[in-house]
Structure 1
């Protein structure tokens, strides 16, 4: 059975876990509508993605 040879210090342990923190999702302002949307995602209200019409626009908003 594998057993660590030395104790891992609190500093080294916490530095290893520094990448585990939850990050808040980023949003960008849409150039056409001015609303916030996720980057690299389709705007569901207009159906546009990168200047192209990808989906039918939703009219029930």
Structure 2
């Protein structure tokens, strides 16, 4: 099994971990209903399922 020859410094460890962070979800505003929703996802509003500015399903 491989073992490091020397201990890595704190700054080197922190540089490696700088990319490991939680990103906020990408939200977009629908031009039809003016509601915020996840990008590339359908969403419910007033018993209707919307996706890309169109009604996919009407639940009534």
Shift in CA distance, 7/30, structure 1 to aligned 2, threshold 3 Å: same
What stretches of structure 2 of length at least 5 have no aligned partner? none
Whichever structure has more helix as a proportion of its residues is 1
Is residue 50 of structure 1 aligned with residue 52 of structure 2? yes
C-alpha distance in 2 between matches for 1:51 and 1:33:
8
Distance in 2 separating the partners of 1:14 and 1:21: 12
TM-score normalised to the size of structure 2? 0.71
Contact 1:28 1:37 in 2 (8 A): yes
User: How much has 1:18 moved relative to structure 2?
Assistant: 1.5
Instruction: Name whichever structure is richer in strand by fraction.
Output: 2
- Equivalent pairs counted in the alignment come to 58
TM-score normalized by the length of structure 1: 0.70
Provide the alpha-carbon RMSD of the alignment.
1.9
Map 1:1-61 → 2, pairs under 5 A: 1-45=1-45, 46-54=48-56, 56-58=57-59
